[in-house]
Amino acid sequence: MLGLRRLLAVSGRHTPEVTSASAASSHSAVFFRALQILAQPGPVRLQKLSAPDTGIVELRLERPEAKNAIGKEMLQGLRSAIQEVEADTAANVVLVASSVPKVFCAGADLKERRLMGPTEVRDFVNSLRSTFSSFEALSIPTIAVVEGVAFGGGLELALSCDLRICGEDAKFSLPETGLAIIPGAGGTQRLPRIVGRSRAKELIFTGRRFDAVEAVTMGVVNYCVPAGEAYQKALELAREINQKGPVAVKMAKKAINQGAEVDMPSALAVEEECYEQVLHTQDRLEGLAAFAEKRKPVYKGK
């Protein structure tokens, strides 16, 4: 409330006691405008969808003046959003999208980067890498919705998601070698695991752009749809996932991710461990009951 009074003071308004309806109305209008100022949205917005899509969460990038370039403020917004999703036991799927037309994310904020010294650059990139790793490590599925450009850190953010959907006008690139640096937020590690070493080396060494058709052919994206329809396709996938057993989906993700990093015997041991986690759940019994009763199961994540 102290911040509100200061805003009222800056606006040139005073708060004497008034009795007229017009004065009260004017004061209310100023109060509302002040609240709007205090509630200015940041570059990252987290929103929970309502029924029937309860369980689906949207993470929106909203920095139109910089084409969603990732600076210090957006990085902090991403970290806060991830922490909020981690703490939300009702969240089952995350959609990562942009509110800026024809742009997913243009990469790092190079204007801000120019003002940093080597130590500050190192700290920023390390923090960005850690943030994307935390996002990748979320126990629930994540889906990137790419319309327009996804360059540098923008593509690295998409690569840290489980699934990627793009519009046919999407453009991708890891252009860092053209700036005499390398992808530093996971690109040199996640891209080879998706498209293979040789193709990843070509894309990173040259920094060339590739389009949506090539992206889906290489496996960078799961689906390419007409421009402007990527969100709807991603939402359809999220709805399908949201209907499945939440614990089962989490354990499936864990088994796939952890198993891919070890030899086959160790990977099968991971699968066994994850299966054990679903064996004694209420949802497993609900699934069997629903099948026997020929009805749709109602899962509660227990």
Min mean pLDDT across 88-92, 261-265, 289-293 is at 289-293
**How does pLDDT run across 97-137, given as a tens digit for each residue?**
999 999 999 999 999 999 999 999 999 999 999 999 999 99
**How does pLDDT run across 268-279, given as a tens digit for each residue?**
999 999 999 999
State yes or no: is 187 an active-site residue: no
**Average pLDDT estimate for 199-225:** 97
Find residue 102's DSSP bridge partners.
none
Residue keyed to tokens 């805003």? 7
pLDDT-derived band of residue 301, with 50, 70 and 90 as boundaries?
A: confident
Find all residues with CB under 8 Å of 43, minimum gap 6, and list them. 61, 62, 63, 68, 71, 73, 74, 77
Rounded to the nearest integer, the mean pLDDT of the chain is 88
Domain ranges of the chain: 44-243, 246-293
Q: Of 144, 156, 184, 212, which is the active-site residue?
A: 156
Give domain 246-293's CATH superfamily.
Answer: Lyase 2-enoyl-coa Hydratase, Chain  A, domain 2 (1.10.12.10)
Does residue 228 register a pLDDT over 90?
yes
**How does pLDDT run across 24-62, given as a tens digit for each residue?**
444 444 444 333 333 347 899 999 999 999 999 999 999
> Which CATH number is associated with domain 44-243?
3.90.226.10
Q: Of 34, 69, 107, 176, which is the active-site residue?
A: 176
Helix (H) and strand (E) counts in the chain: 13, 10
State yes or no: is 156 an active-site residue: yes
State yes or no: is 153 an active-site residue: yes
> Measured between alpha carbons, how far is 160 from 135 in angstroms, rounded to an integer?
7
Q: Of 153, 167, 187, 287, which is the active-site residue?
A: 153
Give this prediction's pTM. 0.84
State yes or no: is 108 an active-site residue: yes
Q: Of 106, 108, 170, 215, which is the active-site residue?
A: 108
Kindly state the percentage of the chain with pLDDT values over 70: 86
